């Protein structure tokens, strides 16, 4: 009940911010439309809708880090969180209240992206549904990154770090916009050590119904999600104690 009240508040704070709606829903849709038009004029295999849609879904989820981190950093910066620390909410309530309500938003965002992709020619199959399910560990990764960044940085810093740096890292190191093999070398090695390209490759495999192709990417995604969540929880609890 307590967590539900706090979660509902966090959902409303995020969903009522028009900028969040633009970047969370509008921007990925614009990208899908734009790249599909480009693909029709200058055919590029990378931008074929079945290849592009999973990448845009993962890229769209990277904005959830920004939304989550901004909310937490603003709460920390104002006296709001201090007020809540004096209520019967427990540490677990805070962590669940910040993590859980954003997951349904992530799923809704993925559904909207795939629905748009279907309108642009993506065959409607059961694999779309399984692709949405496979976004859950990816979503947890990005939302936990939000909890981590929101626990460390101010809301202004979060804008730069999550809004610019992380979204760009996700974009460039995920193989959404270009095949990483084109650059190869250290760039590709670094990209392969990070979870973003694995999230995109996993989603692409699922969407094609190639469930063996999910491996080993899913282990990278789950591993990063688990590690980031653990670090984020530890960091949040530490800042809570400091407050």
Partner 1 sequence: MDAIKTVELTKKYKDVTAVYGLNLTVRQGELLSLLGVNGAGKTTTIKMLTGLTRPTSGDAYLLGKSILTESAAIKVMIAVSPQETAVAPNLTVGENLELMAGIHGFPQTQTRDKVAELCDRFGLGEVANKRAGKLSGGWQRRLSIAMALISDPQILFLDEPTLGLDVLARSDLWDMIRALKGSMTVILTTHYMEEAEALSDRVAIMKSGRLLLTGTPAEIKRHAGTDKFDEAFVRIVKEAAQ
**Which residues are near partner 1 by CB under 8 A?**
1-2, 4-6, 8-9, 12-13, 16-17, 78-80, 82-89, 243
* Degrees to nearest 5, angle at CA 130 with 128 and 132: 70
Q: What is the spatial distance between Cα 159 and Cα 202, in angstroms, rounded to a whole number? A: 28
Task: Give the residue carrying structure tokens 């979870």.
Answer: 195
DSSP 178: S
Nearer to partner 1, 90 or 157 (CB): 90
Nearest distance, CB of residue 98 and partner 1, angstroms: 14
Nearest distance, CB of residue 84 and partner 1, angstroms: 7
Nearer to partner 1, 83 or 189 (CB): 83
Nearer to partner 1, 79 or 168 (CB): 79
- Dig out the tokens for 95 from the structure: 């962590």
For 194, the 3-state DSSP assignment is: coil
Residue 203 burial by Cβ neighbours in a 10 Å radius (0-12, 13-18, 19+): buried
Nearest distance, CB of residue 155 and partner 1, angstroms: 12
Nearest distance, CB of residue 6 and partner 1, angstroms: 6
Element (H, E) at 67: helix 49-77
Q: What is the spatial distance between Cα 230 and Cα 223, in angstroms, rounded to a whole number? A: 11
Nearest distance, CB of residue 207 and partner 1, angstroms: 35
Nearer to partner 1, 80 or 187 (CB): 80
Nearer to partner 1, 64 or 199 (CB): 64
């Amino acid at each position: 009940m307590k967590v539900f009240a706090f979660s509902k508040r966090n959902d409303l704070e995020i969903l009522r911010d028009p900028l969040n709606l633009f970047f969370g829903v509008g921007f990925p849709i614009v990208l899908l439309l734009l790249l599909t038009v480009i693909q029709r004029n200058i055919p590029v295999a990378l931008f074929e809708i079945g290849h592009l849609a999973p990448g845009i879904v993962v890229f769209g989820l990277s904005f959830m880090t920004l939304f989550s981190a901004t909310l937490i950093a603003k709460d920390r910066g104002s006296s709001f969180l201090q007020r809540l620390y004096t209520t019967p909410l427990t540490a677990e309530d805070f962590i669940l209240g910040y993590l859980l309500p954003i997951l349904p938003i992530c799923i809704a965002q993925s559904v909207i992206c795939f629905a748009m992709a279907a309108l642009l020619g993506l065959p409607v199959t059961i694999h779309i549904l399984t692709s949405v399910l496979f976004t859950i560990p990816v979503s947890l990764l990005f939302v936990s990154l939000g909890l981590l960044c929101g626990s460390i940085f101010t809301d202004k810093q979060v804008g730069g770090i999550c809004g610019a740096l992380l979204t760009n890292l996700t974009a460039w190191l995920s193989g959404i916009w270009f095949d990483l093999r084109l650059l190869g070398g250290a760039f590709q090695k670094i990209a392969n050590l990070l979870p973003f390209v694995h999230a995109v490759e996993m989603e692409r495999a699922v969407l094609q119904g190639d469930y063996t192709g999910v491996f080993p990417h899913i282990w990278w995604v789950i591993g990063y999600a688990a590690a980031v969540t653990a670090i984020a929880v530890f960091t949040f609890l530490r800042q809570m104690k400091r407050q």
